[in-house]
Chains A and B, each alone.
Chain A
Amino acid sequence: MRAQGPANPLRDPGDRRLPRIAGPCGLIMFGVTGDLARKKLMPAIYDLANRGLLPPSFALVGFARRDWDDEDFSAIVEENVKLHARTPFRQDVWNQLAEGMRFVAGEFTDDQAYVQLSEVMTELDLQRGTHGNHAFYLSIPPKFFPIVVEKLKNSGLSESAPGSWRRVIIEKPFGHDLDSAQELNRVVAEVFPPRSVFRIDHYLGKETVQNLLAMRFANTLYEPIWNSHYVDHVQITMAEDIGIGSRAGYYDGIGAARDVVQNHLMQLLALTAMEEPVSFEAEQIRLEKEKILSAVMIPKDLGRHTVRGQYAAGWQGGEEVKGYLEEDGIPADSKTDTYAAIKLEIDSRRWAGVPFYLRTGKRLGRRVTEIAVVFKRAPHLPFTATDTEELGANALVIRVQPDEGITTKFGSKVPGTQMEVRDVTMDFAYGDSFTESSPEAYERLILDVLLGDPPLFPRHQEVERSWEILDPILNYWDTHGKPEQYESGTWGPSAADEMLARDGRTWRRP
């Protein structure tokens, strides 16, 4: 939302060469030392500048409890950019960007620091030309949200003059259950109107995830079979090969379900299952996502249709690794899940009777995120049983990471004289070859925040609905038993295989 003036005569809707460059603005980063800030945010900002998508007046302000001055901060940013940026480092681009960098040293609770921040923002408006447009990126532990948001309000920084904007960007976790999520929303909503709040789920910035919408709705091919008449079940998997590393402080007590299922996997489920929006405007997409999420049902018997696990010691891809309970900082009696598998159903005409199996885990076979739509077997096969012994079910798999792309699995005749049929997979990869020029998810999302373009950001209704779905499961787990151990490097606890076997199905090995 930029300042309104007469329509720009140099822009023509038919002129599609001109990229959408953000208007004059600045980004204030609360929390500059975390992994996310260093490895994703700072490089994304540089890459956007290098691609010519940031305005020349762009300013970056760091706010943290460090004894730095402006130069120290920009040196840190430069170091991280050189290490992690996607596009080549160019000194002239860097110099221009560095001229707009400032640092405010202070505690999140310190009123004086906010006064100083306000002065810096005013100076940037006047000297650099940010025009009063500022986005606050809260890359901070959740416990600090309420205080930072309140200070922003009290210092007047959350208010924008007419013709300019103030936005807030928050990262997951959005609360840790329904009540805390609602409380967080309330705290933020008191200070920023809903259209100024941008919740980042970085999966939604990924090329393949957006391609899911293109694939479903731009083609005739898939829509007719995308329903319970043809689909047997859907498996959504997010597997990591790493353990918790040094993040015990964050992870213990949170667990895989809160960390991944509540946000990423629910979003992927929504995009896979939603009805077609009437247009790709943000509002229309959100309506469909909220609608489908409102129809999601959890199983009645949570004991039989949900599973949680904890990784035990083992060998991961050739390296010997510790179990979760042996990691630094993890108590020996921790019941935190590092693996979660849940069966969900959707109470709609399109999806009635089609289970959606969501699973995520650490220290699994390999790092992969995919959505597998598995189809029913043909009702009658004109082949003999032996000829089709090796024929599985057709599947359409959207590979979100790595190797972004789509796989189609179908039956084909084995070359030779007999009619034997087996599965063949056809991979369409625009992953590896495109990664060179495919923007990183954060570039896309940050640019969208600066442009004020929200289709890829979940609104609080989606966040709360996702918690409503998950809360009963988390409560059940708290009061029933503990996670089953699974060996690191395998695909999860045996209980998960049993969960699907009960339904006559098996997990795909991704």
Chain B
Amino acid sequence: MTLRIENTNSSAVNAAISSERHRLGASATGMVLTLVIVTDEQHQSEAARAATYSANQHPCRILVVIPRPGRGKPILDAEINVGDRDGPGETIKLRLKGPLANHQASVVLPLLLPDTPVVAWWPGAAPSHISSDQIGSLAWRRITDAASASRPMAALSSRAATYEAGDTDLTWTRTTPWRSMLATALDEPFAKITSAQVSAQRGNASAALLATWLHSRLHVPVTLKFNRGPGITDVCLETSAGPITLSRPDGSMATLSKPGTPTQRIPLPRRELRDLLSEELRRLDADEIYESALEHVSEVLAPAKGKKSTPTPKESS
């Protein structure tokens, strides 16, 4: 059951949460974090559903902050849901109207679970400098999604320019199934790798991160090629004994071929938002592998001329 209160403040919201908990007879709850989602009306429902699903693995308080800037008085409206059929924990939707839309931290701060990590998530548009944003600075981990921007590559560059430990982006999360399959392919002996190539739909930012990751781990030139997709379609590691390729032309089923081994088919589906989020919530420490992949992403997007250095990933089409 959803409790709605209008024109209120955080203290009253806290009291309402307590009384809802009390009414349901829930005593102790084992919460592990507070998830603050900053979004808009259009995306809040999908984001909240993904978060509720993740709360099954990571019980948490979910604060959905929906700024509604505009003229008029500053008003806070709240919708409170304490433990429903979809999942455990509490989901509180907060609509910040008028000038209040710019004072998100003042509303959110009193509602954070005591002495518990805070994760901030911007499913859509995100501030340019997330770690110094008023909500971002409250958070231990900050999740953005460059793929939701109109120009994902540019958004990813911007993340790279402002990276602070604790930042992460769902474009990186989307590479996990590829990275894990490629890592498995190299668990068996392999010949010397000389170069690599990643092919994907034009504008796919995950492909750029996959390319820079391969470059940083394998220290070979990596090329990024674009096609019609969907998503990432191929990764090819050239070795002295022949290519190791992981190919997924249909966005769902992949084929892995290695020299001297029969070709194998593996499901490699494009994951849903809720699974991406669950993966992100699994660890709260800084992701150094992401950091090092992100570092070189700007080189992929704007190859520097006349740079004397070890081979860098270059873009070709």
Contact = CB atoms under 8 A, between A and B. Distances in A.
Contacts of B42: none
Contacts of A5: 188-190
Given A18-B176, A430-B30, A8 B57 contact: no
A11 B269 CA distance: 22
Interface string A216-254: 000000000000000000000000000000000000000
B88 interface: yes
Contact of B256 (A56, A127, A429): A56
Interface residues of A, number: 43
B279 A433 contact: no
Contacts of A17: 173, 176, 179-180, 279, 283, 287, 289
Contacts of A52: 177, 180-181, 266-267
A9 B217 contact: yes
A384 B121 CA distance: 54
A8 B187 contact: yes
A52 B30 CA distance: 29
A24 B188 contact: yes
Contacts of B30: 405, 428-430
Contacts of B182: 10
Nearest to B32: A430
B121 to A, nearest CB: 17
B35 to A, nearest CB: 15
B198 to A, nearest CB: 14
User: Number of contact residues on B: which range applies?
Assistant: 35 or more
B241 interface: no
A90 B87 CA distance: 24
A481 interface: no
B186 A9 contact: yes
Interface in A427-485: 427-430, 433-434, 436-437
B177 to A, nearest CB: 7
Contacts of B217: 9-10, 12
A11 B183 contact: yes
B188 A3 contact: yes
B209 to A, nearest CB: 12
Interface string B59-102: 10000000000000000000000000001100000000000000
Nearest to B184: A21
Interface string B104-116: 0000000000000
Contacts of B173: 17
A129 interface: yes
Interface in B186-200: 186-190
6 contacts: A10-B186, A18-B179, A18-B183, A52-B267, A90-B267, A433-B88
Given A15-B179, A17-B279, A96-B265, 5 more contacts: A3-B188, A10-B214, A17-B179, A52-B267, A93-B267
Ranked 7 nearest A-B pairs via Cβ: A5-B189, A56-B264, A10-B183, A56-B266, A433-B88, A426-B28, A15-B289
